[in-house]
Every structure is written in structure tokens, then in C-alpha cells.
């Protein structure tokens, strides 16, 4: 039985990852630490309420005593850090919150994991322990028309969000270089799928289509993102946890680049044909560009493919339809997430 401390498990990718873990093997114990910010939804994992191998703890990853108590109580094998402030637009308005969680929170987790896993202040660690930092392709900055990000591309973040993630990556790396702490860092491209907060482009477009609201396109709509179905991200992380070589960074991506406007139009057209003929491209509104807007992301995932045998299973054309249909089937989730009902429920009912 392996014990996973998952942080940020009530968010988009974390909740998909916990579902993935339990679907793949029953022989796991999961402690989900999440402080339920606006982006965290306790209800995403309510199906595990009565699972004896699942524990939810409401805590901030930057809270020393809360994290220490968890390490005292449980014999943690893997710490997988998903917890983060994750929205670029919010980081432009309020950078400090991003530094607190993404940089100081990560440092706190590293310090406490090191203290608990290191043997007698040496470079030796208890067998089988590992810290995995869930990072992003945004740390590499922006690409021109040609080329892809490899693990050796220099870090060149532009937004306070990506700068905070790059800072965290460097702190994680420093714990490997200085203390030989067992770590991996993963850097993934844009994810899409169920349970994504509707401030991010894909669920925002679906939600606005359903409500006949305008769809804001930043700048000329020609920025390019490399989309990966969230379950394929989860399978890659799972492989890195089990087989990633200590100290290594692994890029993860779907080799599926598209311009924002092309992607938005394809969603609108699918909804027009299959759901509501009153939804059409007239909803699109070109608005001022995001400050510091990265033009193009594209991941070279050849290292994780060659070294760990990973490959994505979901084609974008199928994954996007599956995703649109998930939001259509879960309009209650969309409505209630917007008014924060699930978070309020958790505040009342969940112990910390």
C-alpha cells in the first residue's frame, strides 16, 4: 500500500488525478490537502467520502504546523504538489497570492518532506520516497513560429503566474542539487477535460454558449496553445511517480497546437449543430489583449515517451466532444461552482 499526499486535490487536475489513481489501483491511500480557494471544490471528490483509503484535510500548503501534523500522522511515500494559484489573469491583478502559495507553499512542503524523509541529516533518504512538482510549460516563456520547448529550454516566464511556477521549480531543483532530495518536476501543456473552473478558456466558452453570453477573445485570437486531455496528463504523472529518474524534469504534451480562435469556433459550431442552433459565432467579441500574453506554446514530449514509454491516448477531436458533453451533462456543477456553493458546504461540513 502506497500513501500519497496530494495537494490541491479539489482543483481541476488534482481531482482528476485522485480519480485516476483509485480507478487504476485500489491499493493506495490518499490524503488530499486543499484549502478550498475559489478554485477548489470539495464536491469534485464527494464520491470518496466513505472510502477508508481517502482522507481530506482542509489546510494551506504554506501552513507549517498543518503539514507537519500530516507527516507525523501518516507515513507519506509520495508528495504530489498540484496546489497552486493557476490563473494567469488573476496573477496580473494580484501577484502576491501567487508568490505565497506557489513559491512559499512549495518551499514549506519541501522543507517538511525533507525533514521527515532524510536519514540522520545525511544525503540518504528513506527508501521509495519522492516529491513531485506539477509545473507548467509556461515557465519556458513564448515560442516563435518554429520549434518546441524541450526540458533544456531556458526558463523565461512572463506573467507573475509563470514566474511563480518557475521560481518554485528552481527551489525544487535546489533541494535535489543541495540535499539530494528525491524529486521530479513535470511541465505540461494546457489541459482540458471535466471539472475545470470556468474562468479558463474551454469551460468558459462552453458555459457562455449555454448561457448565450459573449465570448471574449484576447487580442487577435491567434495565440497558440498545445492542448492535452487531462486524463493523459494524469497517466504521465503516474508514470513519473513510479519510474521517473530522480532529479529529472519531464515535459508532457499532446502535440496538438491550435489557435484560440480556431478552437473557440470549433466549440461554438459543435454546440450549434448538436445542442442549440441559436448559439453561433456572433457571440465572439474581440477584447483587449492580456498583458504580456505569450504567443505560442508547444511541448516536445519525446523524453517522457522514450524514457518512460508514455503516450497520450485521447485524440483532441474525441476528447473535446467528451469534454463539451461532460459540461452539458453537469450544468448544475457549472452553476453552483460559479456561486461558490460547494465551497460553502465544505466550510460547514468538512473537518480540518
DSSP letter at 154 equals P
Binding site partner of 88, from ligand TDX, ligand NAD, none, Cβ cut-off 5-8 A by kind: ligand TDX
Q: For ligand NAD, which stretch binds (CB under 6 A), given 23-31, 69-77, 79-87, 304-312? A: 79-87
Instruction: Please name which of 27, 34, 26, 47 lies closest in space to residue 6, comparing C-alpha atoms.
Output: 34
Q: For ligand TDX, which stretch binds (CB under 6 A), given 216-224, 265-273, 304-312, 327-335? A: 216-224
Binding site partner of 40, from ligand NAD, ligand TDX, none, Cβ cut-off 5-8 A by kind: ligand NAD
108 touches ligand TDX (CB under 6 A): no
184 touches ligand TDX (CB under 6 A): no
Strand, coil or helix: what is 76?
coil
Residue 210, H or E segment: helix 201-210
- When binding is defined by CB under 6 A, the residue of 37, 108, 167, 223 that contacts ligand NAD is 37
160 touches ligand NAD (CB under 6 A): no
Beta strand ranges found along the chain (DSSP E): 2-7, 28-33, 54-57, 78-81, 130-136, 183-188, 191-192, 215-218, 224-226, 228-229, 249-252, 257-259, 284-287
- When binding is defined by CB under 6 A, the residue of 5, 6, 13, 112 that contacts ligand NAD is 13
CB of 5 to ligand NAD, least distance (A): 12
Instruction: Please name which of 194, 130, 138 lies closest in space to residue 167, comparing C-alpha atoms.
Output: 138
Query: Looking at 34, 137, 231, 294, which residue is catalytic?
Result: 137
Hey, how many other C-beta atoms are within 10 angstroms of the C-beta on 189? 24
DSSP letters along 14-69, please? HHHHHHHHHHH-SSEEEEEE----TT--GGGGGGGTT-TTEEEE---TT-HHHHHH
200 touches ligand TDX (CB under 6 A): yes
Binding site partner of 290, from ligand TDX, ligand NAD, none, Cβ cut-off 5-8 A by kind: ligand TDX
- Please give the size of the binding site for ligand NAD, defined by CB under 6 A: 30
Catalytic residue check, 137:
yes
204 touches ligand TDX (CB under 6 A): yes
290 touches ligand TDX (CB under 6 A): yes
User: Do 298 and 253 contact (CB within 8 A), yes or no?
Assistant: yes
Binding site partner of 37, from ligand NAD, ligand TDX, none, Cβ cut-off 5-8 A by kind: ligand NAD
8 touches ligand NAD (CB under 6 A): yes
CB of 10 to ligand NAD, least distance (A): 4
Radius of gyration (C-alpha) of the chain in whole angstroms: 20
Q: For ligand TDX, which stretch binds (CB under 6 A), given 83-91, 173-181, 236-244, 332-340? A: 83-91
CA distances from 68 to 59, 120, 133 (A): 11, 18, 19
How many whole angstroms separate alpha carbon 352 and alpha carbon 57? 5
- State the cell numbers at 319: 476528447
Catalytic residue check, 74:
no
How many whole angstroms separate alpha carbon 91 and alpha carbon 95? 5
How many whole angstroms separate alpha carbon 141 and alpha carbon 158? 6
DSSP letters along 104-122, please? IIHHHHHHHHHHHHBSTTS
CB of 197 to ligand TDX, least distance (A): 9
Backbone angles phi and psi of 184, in degrees to 5: -135, 155
Binding site partner of 114, from ligand TDX, ligand NAD, none, Cβ cut-off 5-8 A by kind: none
- When binding is defined by CB under 6 A, the residue of 86, 91, 256, 323 that contacts ligand TDX is 86
* Residues near ligand NAD (CB under 6 A): 7-8, 10-14, 34-37, 39-40, 60-62, 82-86, 101, 105, 134, 136, 165, 188, 190-191, 197
* Residues near ligand TDX (CB under 6 A): 86-88, 136, 138, 190, 200-201, 204, 216-218, 223, 225, 260, 290
Catalytic residues: 137-138, 161
Amino acid at each position: 500500500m502506497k500513501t500519497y499526499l496530494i495537494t490541491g486535490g479539489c482543483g481541476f487536475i488534482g481531482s482528476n488525478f485522485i480519480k485516476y489513481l483509485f480507478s487504476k489501483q485500489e491499493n493506495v491511500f490518499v490524503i488530499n490537502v486543499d484549502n478550498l480557494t475559489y478554485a477548489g471544490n470539495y464536491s469534485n471528490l464527494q464520491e470518496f467520502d466513505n472510502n477508508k483509503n481517502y482522507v481530506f484535510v482542509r489546510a494551506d500548503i504554506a501552513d507549517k504546523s498543518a503539514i507537519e501534523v500530516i507527516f507525523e500522522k501518516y507515513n507519506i511515500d509520495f508528495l504530489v504538489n498540484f496546489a497552486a494559484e493557476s490563473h494567469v489573469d488573476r496573477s496580473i491583478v494580484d501577484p502576491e497570492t501567487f508568490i505565497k502559495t506557489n513559491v512559499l507553499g512549495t518551499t514549506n512542503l519541501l522543507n517538511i518532506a525533507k525533514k521527515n524523509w532524510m536519514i540522520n541529516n545525511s544525503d540518504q533518504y528513506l527508501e521509495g520516497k519522492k516529491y513531485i512538482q506539477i509545473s507548467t510549460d509556461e515557465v519556458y516563456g513564448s515560442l516563435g513560429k518554429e520549434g518546441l520547448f524541450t526540458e533544456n529550454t531556458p526558463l523565461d516566464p512572463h506573467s507573475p503566474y509563470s514566474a511563480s511556477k518557475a521560481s518554485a521549480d528552481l527551489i525544487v531543483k535546489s533541494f535535489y542539487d543541495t540535499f539530494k532530495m528525491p524529486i521530479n518536476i513535470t511541465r505540461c501543456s494546457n489541459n482540458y477535460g471535466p471539472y475545470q473552473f470556468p474562468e479558463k478558456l474551454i469551460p468558459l466558452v462552453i458555459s457562455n454558449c449555454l448561457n448565450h453570453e459573449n465570448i471574449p477573445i484576447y487580442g487577435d485570437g491567434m495565440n497558440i496553445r498545445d492542448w492535452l486531455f487531462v486524463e493523459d496528463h494524469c497517466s504521465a504523472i503516474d508514470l513519473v511517480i513510479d519510474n521517473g529518474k530522480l532529479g529529472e524534469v519531464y515535459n508532457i504534451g499532446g502535440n496538438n497546437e491550435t489557435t484560440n480562435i480556431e478552437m473557440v469556433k470549433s466549440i461554438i459550431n459543435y454546440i450549434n449543430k448538436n445542442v442549440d442552433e441559436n448559439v453561433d459565432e456572433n457571440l465572439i467579441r474581440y477584447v483587449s489583449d492580456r498583458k504580456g500574453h505569450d504567443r505560442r506554446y508547444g511541448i516536445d514530449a519525446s523524453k517522457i515517451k522514450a524514457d518512460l514509454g508514455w503516450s497520450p491516448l485521447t485524440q483532441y477531436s474525441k476528447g473535446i466532444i467528451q469534454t463539451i458533453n461532460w459540461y452539458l451533462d453537469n450544468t448544475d456543477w457549472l452553476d453552483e461552482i460559479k456561486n461558490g456553493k460547494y465551497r460553502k458546504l465544505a466550510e460547514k461540513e468538512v473537518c480540518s
